[in-house]
Structure 1
Amino acid sequence: MLHFLFQRLLLLCVTLLLLIIISFSISWLPIDAPLDGKPIVQAFNAYLGLLIDFDLGISSVSQQSILEQLIVVFPATLELAFLSFLVAVMLGIPLGVISALYEDKLVDKILRIFSLMGFSMPVFWVGLIFILYFSLKYDTLPLSGRLDWRYEVDFVTGFLFIDVWYMPEQIRGYIINDMLRHLLLPVLTLTIAPLAEITYLVRTNCIEVNNSLYVKAARTRRINSFTIVRRHILPNALPELIPRFGSLFSSMLTMAIITEYVFTWPGMGRWLINAIRQDDYASISAGVLAIGLLVILINTITNILAILLSPQDKKEWLTLG
């Protein structure tokens, strides 16, 4: 186990170094970039010094601290991505189990068609369709933003689900209702693709476990299906999927950039796209670094978690050590 943790730590360091080099290149290579014109060694040393001091520079457009801007926009992206991922997991796991238990039956075929459609629909197209029907045609849900202009929540953490509890009780309920209405369409848009993938992955792994000898033996003892799923199928199927879930959440951050732009969501994605359009290389470099660092940490944590939850893999790594 220690050998595996050392490998993951070494891989984390190498990946982080590559990420820093990519981020530095954005700040040094383009014309009018913050470090443009300096010798590469001097520029890289200056860039590392800024990172050590947690100084991401100043935006060339707004003339504001980039770190302060990230503190404002990053929680909005995390809130949207995490909530969408949570909905996808909570729906995808039971749908995948049902699809596996009824393999090649009508329910399974319907869910497989849904998975195929979910993979095929572009995020921006789904978002625009939702806006067209629910916001413009039927006027039932908000078109954009996190809150109505009538409400203003004091910035404490940047996460509305937390900051709203610092508001007076008289208006808290109205703010929560408005917040959920603004969240609904972006979350649905961002949930469809990962929900389809999670359903497919869980179905595939559960079918493999369901056809194993120990599950068949449990069925011969007339153990009910719910107990078999809870004690045998899920504990053996899910640990192998945890790294895939980590990669899926990382890809959702990319999809969140498009979703935020469609719904004018004041998060990291919209902020980064505006920086690209305005050639704000310091902000682009910081945005790439922030998103890349989050992706690296998520993938590392999920891989370690998968080993901790899978006794078989743990024995294999101990043998290698």
Structure 2
Amino acid sequence: MLKLIATRITEALIALLLMSLVIFLLSRLTGDPVALMLGDGATEADRQALIAELGLDRSLPVQYLTFIGNALTGDFGRSLTASAEPSIDLVLSRLPASLSLAGVALVFTLVIGIVFGVFAAVMHNTPVDIAARLVALVGQSVPSFWLGIVLMYVFAVQLRWLPTSGYGQWEHYILPAATLGLFTLAAITRLVRASMLEALGSEYIKLARVKGLSEAVVVWKHALANSLIPVITFMGTFFAVMITGAVVVETVFAWPGIGRLAYESILARDFPVVQTVVLVITALFILANLLVDILYVIVDPRMRSRG
């Protein structure tokens, strides 16, 4: 267990370092922030002074090493557009909104996806199974921005049941969480269905039925317990989908999370904020996958010896 954790932490540090380099280079290919900040009426002297102030007159390796050195001390730079506020403060102020939305969406998809997958496997090749597979197909095919607009039009504009935007009340979570979670719902449904079909045909399930256990106990306790291992394995990926998908969903529903902050910062060419957002999201991915690895070892003791 300790060897696994140490290995994953080392991989996490390497991944963070590589990601910091990639986003540092890509953010500087999107345009000139100096022109955006100064406007058309600025003189060349004003331009040169701002370049020197931002450190953009130094070479890219020096700029990157400076960024890494500052980041190790908790200084990720200041926003170029938001009243020079520290970029890490901006990101941390938006992070609770994103995590709460991703959490609600993940619980929604886990509950419904597991139920759909179990019923689809138990009622194999019936209309219920076909309907579950159709939901999975639609969920993995429909673009999230299109789905969000359609849900907003139907339930907010036409039926007036739910708000089009906002944050803080339970009803504000329904549309964005449903939009964010549909792709993952489809993936969980297909995973559980495939695992349940394999489990229901195994010898230990036949033995459980021979012992006279009720079908509900056989399905929901014995078969489902082993069928959830693939879902646990991909939990880190599901979480990643939730966070990355939030960029589009938060923009559509005006959700005040880090996804929308990333979108706004890219448009404004706010390098420090973009870098900070991506690094925080990367750290969340890595942490989620580390927790999944540990949980996987706990759930499946056979993995402990493979460490």
Provide the TM-score with structure 2 as the length reference.
0.86
Distance 1:201 1:183 in 2: 26
1:53 matched to 2:53: no
Equivalent residues in 2 for 1:102-141, closer than 5 Å: 102-141=123-162
* Cα contact 1:26–1:281 (8 A) shared by 2: no
SS of 2:266's equivalent in the other structure is helix
1:91 aligns to what? 112
1:196 matched to 2:186: yes
SS of 1:120's equivalent in the other structure is coil
2:87 aligns to what? 66
Distance 1:225 1:256 in 2: 40
SS of 2:182's equivalent in the other structure is helix
> Which residue among 218, 242, 256 is the counterpart of 1:252?
242
**Superimposed CA distance per residue, residues 184-223 of structure 1 (whole angstroms, 9 cap, x where no aligned partner):** 2111211222111111111111111111111112112221
Q: Offset at 1:31?
A: 4.5
2:270 aligns to what? 280
> Which residue among 62, 68, 87 is the counterpart of 1:42?
62
Equivalent residues in 2 for 1:140-289, closer than 5 Å: 140-146=161-167, 160=168, 179-289=169-279
Equivalent residues in 2 for 1:5-16, closer than 5 Å: 5-16=5-16
**Superimposed CA distance per residue, residues 23-76 of structure 1 (whole angstroms, 9 cap, x where no aligned partner):** 433566664585533234432332122112211111111222212211211111
Equivalent residues in 2 for 1:301-320, closer than 5 Å: 301-315=291-305, 317=306
1:167 aligns to what? none
* Cα contact 2:27–2:269 (8 A) shared by 1: no
Task: Compare relative contact order (CA 8 Å, sep 6+) and give the higher one, 1 or 2.
Answer: 1
> Which residue among 259, 273, 282 is the counterpart of 1:292?
282
* Structure 1 residues without counterparts, runs of 5 or longer: 147-159, 161-178
Distance 2:9 2:243 in 1: 23
Percent of matched pairs sharing the same residue? 30
Alpha carbons of structure 1 residues 204 and 50: separation in structure 2 relative to 1, 3 Å: same
Q: Offset at 1:123?
A: 0.6
Q: Offset at 1:242?
A: 1.0
Q: Offset at 1:10?
A: 2.6
1:164 aligns to what? none
Q: Offset at 1:129?
A: 0.6
Q: Offset at 1:12?
A: 1.8
* Cα contact 2:94–2:261 (8 A) shared by 1: yes
Q: Which moved more, 1:81-90 or 1:94-103?
A: 94-103
Q: Which moved more, 1:105-114 or 1:7-16?
A: 7-16
* Structure 2 residues without counterparts, runs of 5 or longer: 35-53
Provide the TM-score with structure 1 as the length reference.
0.83
* Cα contact 1:186–1:259 (8 A) shared by 2: yes
* Cα contact 2:33–2:270 (8 A) shared by 1: no
Distance 1:232 1:306 in 2: 18
SS of 1:60's equivalent in the other structure is coil
Distance 2:178 2:280 in 1: 25
Aligned length: 286
The two structures, once aligned, show a CA RMSD in angstroms of 2.0
1:17 aligns to what? 17
Distance 2:147 2:28 in 1: 37
Distance 2:256 2:81 in 1: 17
